[in-house]
Structure 1
Amino acid sequence: MTKILIADDDTEIQELLNFTLENEGYNVVICSDGEEAERRAYAEKPDLIVLDVMMPKMTGYEVCEKLREDPRTALTPIIMLTSLSQTKDKITGIKLGADEYLNKPFEPFELAARIEGLLKRVKAEISANPVTNLSGSTQIEMEIKKLLSAGKNFSLFYIDIDNFKPFNEKYGFDAGDVFLKKFAEVLRNIVSVSREKFFLGHLTADDFVIVTVNEDIEAIANNILHAFNTLPVLQYDENTIQKGYMLSIDKEGKEIKAPLMTASIGIAQVSSGNLKHFLQVIEKAKDLCRDAKNTGGNKYIFG
């Protein structure tokens, strides 16, 4: 069931929207202040968020800005409610990442129609990976280009899951998707604890990227590898774990012993204009990732 988070300190509006949206078939989560809205947005993972601008503890503008900076909620559609009629107030919300604006007073069924339309539009337009719901190639390219044009120093982590294909072949695509979702959640948790801004993306089936201005890249890489190492053991059957390999078929049709999954990370460091184009950044990180993979996996290399 589609989940909608409503954040408004007016109890009458809470009750009205809860009644209206539940009758429309939505699962509704109600919050009364900005701090609760931010906290529950991360915990509840709603499909859409409705924010009142004027709330206690944190304004809707502040909540919107924080949600857009966090990879867990960066792509979640947001509708803002306001009694402020100035054009500049609407522009503020839009600049901070709100998708739509609705002035108070409003008809509850108009909001329901806006929600339905926005959900359909986002589903059609979003280029996020359909398995993990992380940003896809289009957003990754935009993020790298934005940092390059601003002359920022940053690092691109290119993370490849080694021997994922044999796992998929042995246990099936559903099990593979479950593993990818779990690894994506691991990455979200790692980047969410930092005060620095992170951008998290999913390029192909088993390739993920992190873009960050955080300079402590080795600590981040070690956290990823440590967390990854706890995942495969939970996915394999006991016999495969004991053997330490899976039987698979190579490109020539020969049966081979494929090792269990590991992770390889290549980290491209961008500074002082050493890389000019986003493709140069991606290719450098991929090359470093290949070098890490060739050392046996569960390694990272930066440069």
Structure 2
Amino acid sequence: MPAYSVLAASSDPAILDMAKAALTEENLSAILCGDGAEALESAQTVKDRPPLRLLVLEACLPKSDGFEVIRALSENPELKTVPCLMLLDPKQSPAARKSSVRLGADDYLQKPFEMNELRAKIHSMTKHFRAHAAPHPVTALPGHPELESQVLARINRGEAFELVCFDINHFRPFNDHYGTEKGDEVIRMTVQLIRNVLKTAGAAADEVALSHIDGDDFVILAPAGKGDKIRAGLKEKFQSEVQKFYSKEEIRKGFIFQKDREDKDQIFPLMRLSTAVLSAAKEKFSHYGQLVAEMNEALHQAKVGSSDV
């Protein structure tokens, strides 16, 4: 099954057939709609589809035109950033083409058009999220797009699950002080610790998903009830293993010196983990963006507070 979906809406069956063929060639799931009302409803239906990554809308749709669909979706926090390719009527003037971008379209294609023109536009407009979907260069782990797919899949199946979120505090000063090669070693060590802890926690490989969502930020999608055990095991192992990256004197003092941007020595504590466990269920959040915001807030509270959340 494709990892992402594209919604195409047109009153012309030939255009829908063309869109479906183009999306299939790009390995994207096609959501096909015949009018604006159907497009609006389908775009906001999460169940049984991969994450929506592009809208292809005919400007002159029946029931609700393409621009009305864009305006309505702009009120949805999860969908307001989804780009739109607007299919314009052949009679529309150059001024109308420019205004289509001003009214919310990210690009346009004027009818009539050839299959290769539509495919080229779709390919160009989906390059951005495809690049972000690439594995992390250091860990080869997937990032946010794959995590979103995994989260939505579990919601659609009605599964209860938890997100174990963590990052490495004071990683950047260490990376600046010792260099990126040593920093990459810390990241790879952390990933290996995660895998070992998951085995110890009794989490089967098909029950968990590990994502590397930023430089030193990770998220584990785990079965309900296993999050706290995973977190506790990981924190204990990390505190032991990370000391191997410091000198005996730095371990004794509990900090390192690193120059700031003004070339002044600053004291930075040794690396440690900030962690948070979130119980995720469909009734607790309305869209993936809200879940990400909750993860970020939970990690922030763990960093500034004295205990995990």
* TM-score, scaled relative to structure 2: 0.53
Stretches of structure 2 lacking an aligned partner (at least 5 in a row): 1-130
SS of structure 2 residue aligned to 1:230: helix
CA 1:259 to 1:277, structure 2 compared with 1: closer, same or farther past 3 Å? same
1:129 aligns with 2:136: yes
1:149 aligns with 2:140: no
Q: Using the alignment, how far apart are the partners of 1:162 and 1:224 within structure 2?
A: 14
1:221 is matched with 231
Partners of 2:238 and 2:273 within 8 A in 1: yes
Amino acid at match of 1:129: H
2:174 is matched with 167
Q: CA deviation at 1:125?
A: 10
Q: Using the alignment, how far apart are the partners of 1:252 and 1:146 within structure 2?
A: 48
2:217 is matched with 207
1:235 aligns with 2:242: no
What's the RMSD between the two structures over aligned residues? 2.2
Q: Per-residue displacement from partner, 1:96-142 (whole Å, max 9, x unpaired)? A: xxxxxxxxxxxxxxxxxxxxxxxxxxxx9971111112222221121
Counterpart among 241, 258, 268 of residue 268 in structure 2: 258
Amino acid at match of 2:281: S
Q: Using the alignment, how far apart are the partners of 1:253 and 1:291 within structure 2?
A: 30
Amino acid at match of 1:145: L
Partners of 1:154 and 1:270 within 8 A in 2: yes
Partners of 2:161 and 2:281 within 8 A in 1: yes
Larger Rg: 2
1:285 aligns with 2:292: no
Q: Using the alignment, how far apart are the partners of 1:195 and 1:228 within structure 2?
A: 19
Q: Per-residue displacement from partner, 1:181-211 (whole Å, max 9, x unpaired)? A: 0110110111234244111111111101101
Q: CA deviation at 1:250?
A: 4.5
SS of structure 1 residue aligned to 2:283: coil
Counterpart among 271, 277, 283 of residue 273 in structure 1: 283
Counterpart among 197, 200, 203 of residue 190 in structure 1: 197
Amino acid at match of 1:270: A
Q: CA deviation at 1:176?
A: 0.3
Q: Per-residue displacement from partner, 1:157-176 (whole Å, max 9, x unpaired)? A: 11110000010011100000
Q: Which moved more, 1:250-259 or 1:131-140?
A: 250-259
Q: Using the alignment, how far apart are the partners of 2:268 and 2:293 within structure 1?
A: 26
Number of residue pairs aligned between Structure 1 and Structure 2: 176
Partners of 2:255 and 2:269 within 8 A in 1: yes
Partners of 1:266 and 1:287 within 8 A in 2: no
Q: Using the alignment, how far apart are the partners of 1:275 and 1:214 within structure 2?
A: 16
Aligned sequence identity (%): 26
1:246 is matched with 256
Q: Using the alignment, how far apart are the partners of 1:273 and 1:251 within structure 2?
A: 46
1:158 aligns with 2:165: yes
Partners of 2:228 and 2:277 within 8 A in 1: no
Amino acid at match of 1:280: Q
Partners of 1:148 and 1:277 within 8 A in 2: no
* TM-score, scaled relative to structure 1: 0.54
CA 1:269 to 1:237, structure 2 compared with 1: closer, same or farther past 3 Å? same
CA 1:272 to 1:202, structure 2 compared with 1: closer, same or farther past 3 Å? closer
Q: Per-residue displacement from partner, 1:144-168 (whole Å, max 9, x unpaired)? A: 1222333322111111100000100
Moved over 6 A (4+): none
Q: Using the alignment, how far apart are the partners of 2:282 and 2:145 within structure 1?
A: 25
1:300 aligns with 2:304: no
1:34 is matched with none
